[in-house]
């Protein structure tokens, strides 16, 4: 009969409409912003720089090795290496970034900087409500905006952060163990 | 069949069906697009009409051109991986795989078993969400505004959640690496995927029942946009569009890349090569994908996820060239790389299935009405990020 | 069939056609066939109709730009030094002229085989850039050859509709060439050391 197919289709629509009141399955949306989903642990948006302890400036893990600057595909990281060195968490003298800027209007959240960083210094944040009315300067994030504490890192990526802390703890212990027989000159490493 | 085809589909110099514009008839030139809801992006068709009848149609590209190939030739091999996400932005996982597979062929890296299974799972999830979305758009082009598309997006939402869960991003996954995948599946992911796969058949039944038998859909699609098999092969059409014309060519069966030889699945084939066949092809392929997913999730082995020889930075393949291809949801997605031994490719080329499938757009649209053009274009399945690169 | 066999068959079937097997360092067995441009169209028809190959599907067409290259190789030469013949090493510099190239990846859907890789080269990179279009043989080359014409500047003679594909009409350069210099862009990554950076630092 002509029209039968249409009626059958409407039956499906009715099933979905009334079903959406009963089944979560059929209604997957949430009422943002009143209702918010917890982001996945792996979620990523823009990078941030991790610092340890309270020193937003002094605790930065970044040693300005410039690897991420070089590997970032759209080249949106700019780093000015410091002239002097200061000790890092194992006590080795390292450079630090005098300036560290990410142009987030260009950053494409690819996470490659995180992967290539050998010092666990840069990680991905999950914050996404970042709109600004300043198209240029407002999207050029400097060190003060990028630096976030290790606690923040633990809050957004708990599993990964715990692994990182464990690895760094081991490194530190190994460095201390090596430093104990301090009578040896430095070349004996 | 194919060997006996007529040798030349077109006379050189002739630019399409300009015949019939005799005296008395007035031709109307219409530019459909670049901002037109039916063009699925910034894409233009310069259409010449005689009344309602299309006598000539020229697609115009390039509105989204960003010279992806040149950018890739200036960055490292790894650096192009996130850019491949942005080719066919609905299917970033497949794009990642095609590129990773090509570089693996170039360097001889071998992904471990688990990674191969994970890749199959991701690629088939991608296929399901791509086809569901395409059908939604196609039906929307025919006037079923919203409803089918929203049903498709509801299921797509679940798949994108699975992607975000493992890779951290919903669409720009950047998940595969040369010689494996970036991170292992998180705890609970396999169960989540299985839950989706279990419920998928119900969705597919409903989705099919929604409009498959509708008289309007049949009238609008059957016999519209015919694509004969000979022409399809000669014009390099691939993917569901080629199979809708009855040519049995699925790279998952032909090349058997990855671990596709371990799964049993069928390759659905069309008969006529009209829009209806293309629509059905997607519905049937989704069912096959769900069956592959069930098998892959069941057999998923443990073990490492990355070839130990693979390294992140400073990849320098031997000088040489390679062409790698996979069956992406839209057709054959190929990458052609020439290495000169340095850290970035000397030549990097993407074979975009969407663009090449459009070669026959004019042939399918000639002598049809404008309303049919919209439906025919919808059945091709294009994404402008890939067409224009 | 190996590329060498195909080469000898083409050369036997088309008188005057010269085919060179270009080796491939990366994937063994995938050497390509560089066909001279005068006979490329004939060779393409031959490959498509060849009963053992039946290459009915031209999948990928890619342009490649090879700049002028200078290679220096060390050669042993015998020289008369003070009346005594001696062996000496000499560095010879040879110049490989640059050229543009179109690479066709051919498959057979009928036989489920492939690829056979065909290369057609132009004479140079500047004024003699014509090669025959293979669109009459495989229509899948239509848009891809247009793209190569657009981005590399190879002129495909016999192409039914050779216009720019991606760049706009009126654009004159060929952006995929290796010596292409892009115009200065004003919306690229911002340099924090520039004016915007100072503003960001101040505010
Ligand atoms: S963030 Fe990491 S990779 Fe980048 S400069 Fe700092 S230490 Fe090096
Ligand atoms: S996420 Fe990607 S684009 Fe953004 S700063 Fe890191 S490497 Fe660059």
pLDDT tens-digit readout, B356-384: 998 888 888 888 888 888 888 888 888 88
DSSP string spanning B141-184? HTT--SHHHHHHHHHHHHHHHHHHHHHS-SS----EETTEESSP
- Cα of B379 to ligand 2 centre, how many Å? 36
- Give the percent of chain B with pLDDT over 70: 94
DSSP string spanning A33-90? TTS-PPPPTT---SEEEEE-SS-TTTTB------HHHHH-TT--EEEEE-SS-EE-TT
Segment B163-176 mean pLDDT:
89
pLDDT tens-digit readout, B90-120: 888 999 999 999 998 888 888 898 999 999 9
pLDDT tens-digit readout, C158-202: 888 888 888 888 888 888 888 888 777 665 556 666 656 666 665
- Decide: helix, strand or coil at residue C93: strand
Q: Verify that A83 and A163 share a domain, yes or no.
A: yes
ipTM comes to 0.83
Q: Verify that A51 and A31 share a domain, yes or no.
A: no
- On the question of pLDDT at B16 being above 50, the answer is no
Q: Verify that A59 and A2 share a domain, yes or no.
A: no
Q: Which two tokens stand for residue C20?
A: 């060179």
In a domain, A183, yes or no: no
Q: Verify that A30 and A75 share a domain, yes or no.
A: no
In a domain, A21, yes or no: yes
Q: Verify that A32 and A51 share a domain, yes or no.
A: no
| Closest in A74, A75, A137 to C200, CB measured | A137
- Chain C contact set for B318 (CB, 8 A): 25-26
- Nearest C-alpha of chain B: how many angstroms from A28? 7
Residue found by looking up tokens 């199979």 in the block: B243
Q: What residue ranges in B178-319 does DSSP mark as E strands?
A: 180-181
Question: pLDDT at position C195, please?
Answer: 59
Please tell me the pTM assigned to this model.
0.86
Question: pLDDT at position B95, please?
Answer: 92
Residue C3 DSSP symbol: H
Q: Verify that A25 and A64 share a domain, yes or no.
A: no
Q: Domain range for residue A22? A: 1-37
**Strands A86-87 vs B44-50: parallel, antiparallel or unpaired:** unpaired
Contact B131, B156 (CB under 8 A): no
Contact B82, B169 (CB under 8 A): no
Segment A119-128 mean pLDDT:
87
- Cα of A68 to ligand 1 centre, how many Å? 6
Question: pLDDT at position C159, please?
Answer: 87
pLDDT tens-digit readout, C2-60: 878 888 888 888 888 888 888 787 777 678 888 888 888 888 888 888 888 888 888 89
Q: Verify that A30 and A83 share a domain, yes or no.
A: no
Q: Verify that A55 and A32 share a domain, yes or no.
A: no
Angle, helices B92-107 vs B113-141, to 10°: value is 140
Q: Which two tokens stand for residue B352?
A: 């975009």
In a domain, A189, yes or no: no
Q: Verify that A14 and A66 share a domain, yes or no.
A: no
Q: Which residues of B212-244 are buried (b: 16+ CB within 10 A; e: fewer)?
A: bebeebeebbeebbbbbbbbbbbbbbbbbbbbb
Three-state DSSP string of C102-119: EEEEEEECCCCEEEEEEE
Q: Which two tokens stand for residue C159?
A: 């192409």
- CATH code, domain with A90: 3.30.70.3270
Check pocket membership of A90 for ligand 1, CB cut-off 6 A. no
Segment C122-128 mean pLDDT:
83
Q: What is the number of structural domains in chain A?
A: 2
Q: In what order do the strands lie in the sheet with B347-351?
A: B320-328, B331-339, B347-351
Q: Verify that A112 and A170 share a domain, yes or no.
A: yes
Question: pLDDT at position B128, please?
Answer: 92
Q: Show me where the domains of chain C are located.
A: 3-66+99-179
Q: Verify that A108 and A77 share a domain, yes or no.
A: yes
Q: Verify that A6 and A91 share a domain, yes or no.
A: no
In a domain, A187, yes or no: no
Output the average pLDDT for chain C.
81
Segment B152-158 mean pLDDT:
88
Contact A45, A126 (CB under 8 A): yes
pLDDT tens-digit readout, A15-71: 888 888 888 878 888 888 888 888 888 888 899 888 887 777 777 888 888 888 888
Q: Report how far apart, in Å, the C-alpha atoms of B204 and of each of A113, B214, B225, B228, C33 are.
A: 40, 16, 25, 28, 47
* Chain B: touching chains (3 or more CB pairs < 8 Å): A, C
- Decide: helix, strand or coil at residue A153: helix
- Beta carbons of B213 and A8 less than 8 Å apart: yes
DSSP string spanning B329-349? TTEEEEEEEEE-SSSS-SEEE
HSE-CB of C66 using CA atoms within 13 angstroms: 20
- On the question of pLDDT at C65 being above 60, the answer is yes
Domain C3-66+99-179 superfamily per CATH? NADH:ubiquinone oxidoreductase Nqo5 subunit (3.30.460.80)
Which of A115, A120, A117 minimizes the C-alpha distance to B175?
A: A115
Q: Which two tokens stand for residue B287?
A: 């069912």
Element containing residue B133 per DSSP (H, E): helix B113-141
Question: pLDDT at position B131, please?
Answer: 92
Contact A100, A140 (CB under 8 A): no
- Beta carbons of C105 and B334 less than 8 Å apart: yes
Question: pLDDT at position B289, please?
Answer: 92
């Amino acid at each position: 009969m002509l029209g039968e197919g249409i009626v059958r289709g409407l039956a499906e629509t009715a099933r979905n409409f009334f079903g959406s009141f009963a089944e979560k399955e059929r209604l997957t949306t949430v009422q943002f912003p009143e209702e918010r989903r917890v982001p996945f642990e792996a979620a990523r948006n823009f990078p941030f720089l991790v610092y340890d302890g309270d020193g937003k400036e002094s605790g930065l893990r970044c040693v300005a090795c410039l690897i991420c600057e070089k590997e970032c595909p759209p080249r949106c990281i700019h780093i000015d290496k410091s002239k002097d060195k200061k000790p890092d968490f194992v006590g080795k003298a390292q450079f630090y970034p005098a300036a560290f800027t990410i142009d987030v209007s260009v950053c494409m959240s690819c996470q490659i900087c995180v992967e290539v960083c050998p010092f666990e210094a840069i990680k991905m944040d999950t914050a996404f409500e970042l709109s600004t009315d300043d198209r240029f300067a407002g999207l050029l994030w400097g060190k003060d905006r990028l630096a976030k504490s290790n606690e923040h890192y633990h809050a957004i990526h708990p599993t990964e952060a715990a692994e990182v802390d464990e690895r760094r703890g081991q490194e530190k212990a190994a460095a201390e163990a090596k430093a104990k027989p301090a009578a040896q000159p430095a070349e004996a490493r | 069949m194919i060997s006996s085809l007529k040798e030349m589909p077109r006379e050189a110099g002739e630019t399409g069906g300009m015949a019939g514009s005799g005296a008395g008839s007035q031709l109307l030139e219409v530019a459909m697009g670049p901002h037109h809801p039916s063009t699925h992006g910034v894409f233009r068709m310069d259409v010449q009409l005689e009344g309602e009848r299309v006598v000539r149609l020229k697609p115009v590209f390039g509105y989204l051109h960003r010279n992806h190939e040149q950018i890739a030739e200036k960055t490292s091999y790894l650096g192009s991986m996130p850019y491949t996400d942005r080719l066919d932005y609905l299917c970033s996982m497949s794009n990642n795989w095609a590129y990773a597979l090509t570089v693996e062929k170039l360097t001889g890296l071998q992904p471990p078993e688990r990674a191969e299974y994970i890749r199959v799972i991701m690629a088939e999830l991608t296929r399901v969400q791509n086809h569901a979305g395409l059908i939604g758009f196609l039906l929307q082009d025919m006037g079923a505004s919203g409803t089918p598309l929203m049903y498709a997006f509801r299921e797509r939402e679940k798949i994108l959640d699975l992607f975000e869960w493992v890779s951290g991003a919903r669409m720009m996954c950047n998940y595969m690496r040369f010689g494996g995948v970036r991170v292992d599946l998180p705890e609970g992911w396999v169960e989540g995927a299985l839950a989706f796969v279990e419920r998928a058949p119900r969705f597919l039944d409903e989705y099919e029942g929604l409009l498959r038998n509708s008289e309007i859909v049949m009238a609008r699609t059957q016999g519209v946009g015919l694509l004969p098999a000979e022409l399809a092969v000669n014009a390099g059409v691939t993917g569901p569009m080629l199979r809708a014309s009855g040519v049995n060519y699925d790279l998952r069966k032909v090349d058997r890349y990855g671990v596709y030889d371990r799964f049993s699945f069928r390759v659905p084939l069309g008969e006529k090569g009209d829009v209806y066949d293309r629509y059905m092809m997607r519905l049937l392929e989704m069912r096959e994908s769900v069956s592959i997913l069930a098998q892959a999730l069941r057999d998923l082995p443990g073990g490492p996820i990355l070839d130990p020889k693979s390294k992140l930075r400073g990849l320098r393949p031997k000088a040489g060239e390679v062409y790698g291809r996979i069956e992406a949801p839209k057709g054959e997605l190929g990458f052609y790389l020439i290495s000169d031994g340095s850290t970035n490719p000397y030549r990097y080329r993407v074979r975009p299935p969407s663009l090449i499938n459009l070669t026959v757009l004019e042939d399918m649209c000639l002598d049809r009405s404008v309303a049919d053009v919209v439906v025919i274009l919808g059945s091709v399945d294009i994404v402008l990020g890939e067409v224009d690169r | 069939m190996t590329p060498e066999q195909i080469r000898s068959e083409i050369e036997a079937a088309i008188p005057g056609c010269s085919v060179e097997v270009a080796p491939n360092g990366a994937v063994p067995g995938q050497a390509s066939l560089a066909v001279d441009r005068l006979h490329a169209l004939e060779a393409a028809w031959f490959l498509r109709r060849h009963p053992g190959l039946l290459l009915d599907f031209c999948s990928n067409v890619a342009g490649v730009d090879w700049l002028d290259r200078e290679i220096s190789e060390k050669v042993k030469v015998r020289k008369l030094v003070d009346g005594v013949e001696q062996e000496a090493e000499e560095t010879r510099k040879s110049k490989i002229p640059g050229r543009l190239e179109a690479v066709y990846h051919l498959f057979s859907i009928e036989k489920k085989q492939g690829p056979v890789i065909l290369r057609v080269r132009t004479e140079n990179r500047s004024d003699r850039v014509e090669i025959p279009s293979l669109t009459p043989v495989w229509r899948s080359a239509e848009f891809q050859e247009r793209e190569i014409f657009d981005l590399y500047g190879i002129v495909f003679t016999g192409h039914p509709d050779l216009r720019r594909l991606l760049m706009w009409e009126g654009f004159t350069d060929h952006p995929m060439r290796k010596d292409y210099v892009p115009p200065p862009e004003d919306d690229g990554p911002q340099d924090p050391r520039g004016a915007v950076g100072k503003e960001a630092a101040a505010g």
